[in-house]
């Protein structure tokens, strides 16, 4: 399996705190059947200033540490970029990393509790720079859960979305878990990732989430989320995604009375 979202590199963000934890996470990933990991430390302006040069230096050090520890895991560069109007310009200038430093896909972190205005214009700015956005952990955004039509429109426009594997098991609220299954059923997410931050919560594992996804969408479609699609993204190739199925907003108890 290929994991496109991990905070395994130590001392860069809220992920691994030291080399011991980082190497333990790498071992855990290998034991779970993961062969490749894209290391995506947070970039948040003014908080986590993980520029391209900083991440590449840490990645090189990590490769040497893993080779010394005889951990057979391939790691690749990346970053989880917090939504910021300056991103297209900074990516173009080579200041910030795209996935595998390939200049084609950028992992974009949306706020969990809101969606800023003018997002379509922001995504268009990335497209003008020939950068395809990949939206991280869309199932955890409360606005998307209330207005899934917004995600549907972005997927219809060709943008890609990730889902955290633990969202399909018992690591999040029942609301997030239920919504995650609905996103799978409606073809609104395209890759399953660990978004690993440590050894206890959001661990570097994909197998449990893959098994849960397989029960919903079948073996072929589920495996595509951890094999074919991530491999294409790593190589910088275009990804052909199936047409999404519209996902209607669920009616609430109060909606019934508002129509009376």
State pLDDT tens for residues 36-66: 999 999 999 999 999 999 999 999 999 999 9
Structural tokens at position 82 = 């917090």
pLDDT number for residue 138:
96
Are 108 and 133 a contacting pair, CB within 8 Å? yes
Q: Which of 88, 97, 1 is nearest to 40 (CA)?
A: 97
Confidence of residue 258 (pLDDT cuts 50, 70, 90): very low
| pLDDT higher than 50, residue 120 | yes
At 155 the three-state DSSP class reads: helix
* Average pLDDT of span 105-133: 91
pLDDT number for residue 113:
80
Domains and CATH numbers, the chain: 2-258 (3.20.20.140)
Q: In what order do the strands lie in the sheet with 132-135?
A: 42-43, 80-82, 105-109, 132-135, 160-164, 191-193
pLDDT number for residue 257:
44
State pLDDT tens for residues 92-109: 999 999 999 999 999 999
Q: Of 202 and 34, which is predicted with more confidence?
A: 34
At 101 the three-state DSSP class reads: helix
Structural tokens at position 59 = 């990645």
């Amino acid at each position: 399996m290929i994991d496109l979202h991990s905070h395994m590199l130590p001392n860069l963000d809220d992920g691994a705190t030291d080399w011991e934890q980082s190497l333990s996470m790498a071992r855990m990933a290998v034991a779970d059947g993961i062969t490749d990991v894209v290391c995506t430390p947070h970039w948040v302006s003014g908080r986590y200033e993980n520029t391209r040069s900083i991440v590449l230096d840490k990645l090189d050090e990590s490769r040497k540490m893993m080779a010394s520890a005889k951990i057979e895991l391939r790691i690749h560069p990346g970053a989880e970029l917090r939504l910021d109007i300056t991103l297209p310009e900074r990516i173009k200038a080579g200041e910030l990393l795209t996935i595998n430093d390939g200049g084609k896909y950028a992992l974009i972190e949306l706020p969990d509790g809101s969606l800023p205005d003018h997002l379509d214009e922001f995504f268009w700015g990335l497209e003008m720079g020939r950068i395809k956005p990949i939206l991280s952990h869309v199932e955890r955004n409360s606005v998307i859960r209330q207005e899934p039509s917004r995600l549907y429109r972005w997927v219809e426009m060709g943008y890609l979305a990730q889902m955290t594997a633990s969202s399909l098991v018992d690591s999040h609220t029942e609301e997030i878990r239920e919504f995650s299954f609905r996103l799978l059923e409606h073809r609104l997410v395209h890759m399953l990732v660990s978004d690993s931050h440590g050894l206890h919560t959001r661990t570097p594992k994909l197998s449990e989430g893959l098994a849960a996804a397989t029960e919903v969408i079948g073996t072929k479609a589920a495996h595509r989320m951890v094999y074919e699609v991530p491999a294409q993204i790593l190589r910088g190739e275009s990804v052909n995604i199936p047409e999404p199925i519209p996902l209607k907003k669920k009616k609430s108890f109060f909606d019934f009375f508002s129509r009376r």
